[in-house]
Amino acid sequence: MRRFTTALLLMAAMSGLTGCAAICDGIISMEMDARNDVLALKAWGHWSRVYDDLDYPWHFSKGFKEGYVAVLNGGSGCQPTIPPQCYWKPCYQTLEGKNKIHAWFDGFSHGALAAKQDGYGDMGQIPISPTARANIEAARRRPSTNVLENLEQMSGTTVIDDTQSELLLAPEDSGDDPQVLPRNPDRPIQLRPYE
């Protein structure tokens, strides 16, 4: 409660220095952080009985909750490269300290997986309109053969879709064998009339 009161007083003091949008963003951020912390604590309460026989249960539970919150915040659940700064102290530079850090990393992975299994994997995503989604999907699709035929008719050039076969070039006057160009499935090759 004291933490909440301090945060509220701090926000009231800063209200004269910042605009309304910044205050709203701060309140929304605090609300989401509180919600995510509560969900992580509930999840640990539900899943903790699975991890009863661990060597460093406190560090594992800390990592579990942070991994759970990371997924709730929209993260992928991949372990961070380095542990939190509290694990950078000299007391963690021993064999036992390194084992505690490994317990934190294991807890992080298990917490992230638990958040995904609990159905919170996409909680941090904001939905977009169906029209925008359809436009994005249409832009990702490969053009159909009808589009290539229309392009040939409009431009007067020959478009060869090299995903079906390899392109043979006519032999030069020197009598060499025809040259074969390698296939490139990502883009069609255009032959211009003057080539």
Each residue of 31-64: pLDDT tens digit?
Answer: 988 999 999 999 999 988 888 888 899 999 999 9
Same domain, 112 and 186: no
Q: How many other β-carbons are positioned within 10 Å of the β-carbon of residue 119?
A: 8
Same domain, 112 and 77: yes
- For the chain, how many residues are written? 195
Write down the pLDDT at residue 165. Answer: 47
pLDDT category of residue 166 using cuts at 50, 70 and 90: very low
Using CA atoms, how far apart are residues 97 and 102, in angstroms rounded to an integer? 9
Same domain, 77 and 158: no
Give the pair of three-digit tokens for residue 140: 């990702």
Write down the pLDDT at residue 119. Answer: 87
Domain enclosing residue 185, as ranges: 141-168+178-191
Using CA atoms, how far apart are residues 60 and 51, in angstroms rounded to an integer? 9
Write down the pLDDT at residue 103. Answer: 95
Mean pLDDT score across all residues of the chain: 77
DSSP state of 158: E
Residue 127 covered by a domain:
no
For 190, list phi and psi in degrees, rounded to 5.
-105, 130
Convert the pLDDT of each residue in 112-129 to its tens digit. 999 999 888 877 677 888
Contact status, residue 179 vs residue 167, Cβ threshold 8 Å? no
For residues 94-122, give the mean pLDDT.
92
Quick check: 135 pLDDT over 90? no
Residue 7 covered by a domain:
no
Q: What total of structural domains would you count in the chain?
A: 2
Quick check: 160 pLDDT over 60? no
Which of 10-14, 135-139, 158-162 has the weakest average pLDDT? Answer: 158-162
Q: pTM for the complete prediction?
A: 0.58
Give the pair of three-digit tokens for residue 127: 């939905």
Tell me if residue 62 falls in helix, strand or coil.
helix
Write down the pLDDT at residue 22. Answer: 75
Q: How many other β-carbons are positioned within 10 Å of the β-carbon of residue 61?
A: 22
Using CA atoms, how far apart are residues 147 and 153, in angstroms rounded to an integer? 10
Residue 30 covered by a domain:
yes
Give the pair of three-digit tokens for residue 190: 């255009």
Residue 133 covered by a domain:
no
What sections of the chain are H helices per DSSP?
2-14, 20-47, 57-72, 95-117, 130-140, 145-155
In sequence order, the 6+-apart residues with CB closer than 8 A to the CB of 125 are 74
**Chain center to CA of 160:** 37
Q: Which residue has the higher pLDDT, 148 or 72?
A: 72
Q: How many other β-carbons are positioned within 10 Å of the β-carbon of residue 69?
A: 23
Using CA atoms, how far apart are residues 90 and 92, in angstroms rounded to an integer? 5
Same domain, 84 and 40: yes
